Chain A
Amino acid sequence: MSNHLIIGQYVPGQSIIHRLDPRAKLLIVFAYVLIVFLANNAATYALLSVFAFLFAALSRIPFSYIMRGLRPVIWVVLFTFVLHVWMTKEGDVLYRIGALTIYEEGVRQGIFISLRFLLLVLMTTMLTLTTTPIEVTDGVESLLGPLKKMRVPVHELALMMAISLRFIPTLMEETEKIMKAQAARGVDFSGGRFSERMKAIVSLLVPLFISSFKRADELATAMEARGYRGGEGRTKFRQLAWKRTDTVFFAAVVLLAILLCLLRS
């Protein structure tokens, strides 16, 4: 279980999308999220959809995994669609079912806006499915590097992210251990009255805090003993390399943006 927890939804693979530089993937996804809002007619939405589905197909991730990522938002998409069909009262009348009248404009708006939402979620999900959290961290650190000049602690933020990723499974195991230790002392974690439940949860949380503070202290001591002094002059175990494919994919997004500007009405 803890292995699943570190990598999250990441699906290991060797596809061309997996091997893209995390910086390229971040830039592509952010650019896509911005240009989605340019679309306002059938041609532009079709273009955006083709790009997103091609991206998904190239990742060679099984369709079922992608659907699993989309499942939490499917209700929001349906809700959006129904709301627009129900509320918009413009254009020709398509159907009349009792008191409910469905207008052409409503269906059009409903399809476009729920498709836009679906595309946004699909592209951001593709990033998560093909990139490990630690790769994303490296990519963000590198992309935000210029902000260091404005005294934003970019390196420190990335380091804290890396430390948390490392310690989340550890503290989760610790939680289980503490529960067993407290249960052996007679704490009931299976139910009881409300005040008993509160008492049980405090008996779990306080040792968890103490143990995490101890770990923080040990790790800080170890860092200082090894002469940690911030990001300046640091060498890295994981190196990022911008390749030609990264440029090609980035150019494709720029091309998409230009086409959208030309085709939108």
Chain B
Amino acid sequence: MKQRTSLRPLDMTLAAMFVALMAIGANITSWVPFLVVGGVPITLQTFFCVLAGAVLGRRLGAVAMTVYMFVGLAGAPVFSKLSGGLSIIFQPTFGFILSFIAAAYVTGWIIERGPQPASTVRFVTAALVGMVINYVIGTNWMYMAYKLWAEAPKGLSYEMVWGWMLVPLPKDILLSIVAGLIAPRLCRAIGRSSSASRPAA
């Protein structure tokens, strides 16, 4: 009996390449040190994540981000600061890694909904929505993690956690817009607009 699956070899290799790109994006400052702004190293994870949704389509984009998470948990140093390993689950920032899956899915979904090929405005909107999802899930997880792992009593407020997240917000808004602008070009480069263009699985 043949395993029924809708993942073609090209889908699998493209998803794997996006995992490698995420690994580079997470540590881009080791190649391009000028991206350290005010002592905070900028990462391109959100950037590549929304592009995965936009270029690979919602389903394959989410699959690629799932593989990224697993590769990191298996011990390859693919997360920011070249970290990796199963213990990452217990770090408060693990929610951001988890949220890439949802962010890529929603980004792809918004682009696939309208008329094809999607307009640049739609690409940029989709990228921004993806980024917002990244922040909402990531920050809520961080709050929950402090509550659960550390059993933090009343002292830690919800507003306080969101306050920490405002620092990297402007650069992520900017990078999401850039991602939305170059996504149509990349879609044309791989010769297919999204997984919506092939028969539904």
Contact = CB atoms under 8 A, between A and B. Distances in A.
Physical interaction between A and B = yes
Closest 6 CB pairs of A and B: A128-B85, A163-B16, A164-B19, A124-B86, A220-B10, A136-B74
B17 A165 contact: no
A229 B87 contact: no
A79 B150 contact: yes
Given A210-B189, A229-B2, A124 B89 contact: yes
21 contacts: A9-B85, A83-B156, A84-B153, A121-B87, A133-B74, A156-B5, A157-B63, A160-B15, A160-B63, A161-B16, A161-B67, A164-B68, A164-B71, A165-B71, A171-B17, A172-B23, A213-B17, A213-B189, A220-B9, A230-B3, A230-B5
A224 B34 contact: no
B7 to A, nearest CB: 5
Interface in B87-107: 87, 89-92
B24 A175 contact: yes
A125 B189 CA distance: 41
A124 to B, nearest CB: 4
Nearest to B67: A160
A210 B182 CA distance: 12
B155 interface: yes
B91 A157 contact: no
A69 B104 CA distance: 30
Given A133-B71, A202-B178, A212-B20, A117 B5 contact: no
A140 B87 contact: no
Interface stretch (A53-61, A94-102, A189-197, A239-247): A189-197
Contacts of B63: 157, 160
Interface in A181-209: 189-192, 197-198, 200-202, 204-206, 208-209
B125 interface: no
Contacts of A219: 9, 13
Interface stretch (A41-49, A147-155, A255-263): A147-155
Interface in A111-165: 113, 117, 120-121, 124-125, 127-128, 131-133, 136-137, 140, 148, 151, 153, 155-157, 159-161, 163-165
A163 B67 CA distance: 10
A22 B100 CA distance: 27
Interface string B71-83: 1001111100011
Nearest to B81: A72
Interface of B: 1-5, 7-10, 12-21, 23-24, 28, 31-32, 34-35, 44, 63-64, 66-68, 70-71, 74-78, 82-87, 89-92, 149-156, 178, 182, 185-186, 189-190
A83 B153 CA distance: 8
A76 B92 contact: yes
Nearest to A113: B151
A229 to B, nearest CB: 7
A141 B18 CA distance: 21
A9 B78 CA distance: 11
Contacts of A155: 3
A128 B84 CA distance: 8
Contacts of B67: 157, 160-161, 164
A156 B59 CA distance: 14
Nearest to A130: B75
Nearest to B78: A168
A211 to B, nearest CB: 9
Nearest to A191: B34
A171 B34 contact: no
A167 interface: yes
Contact of B13 (A9, A127, A163): A163
Contact of A117 (B21, B84, B149, B154): B149
A10 interface: yes
Nearest to A131: B75
Nearest to B19: A164
A16 interface: no
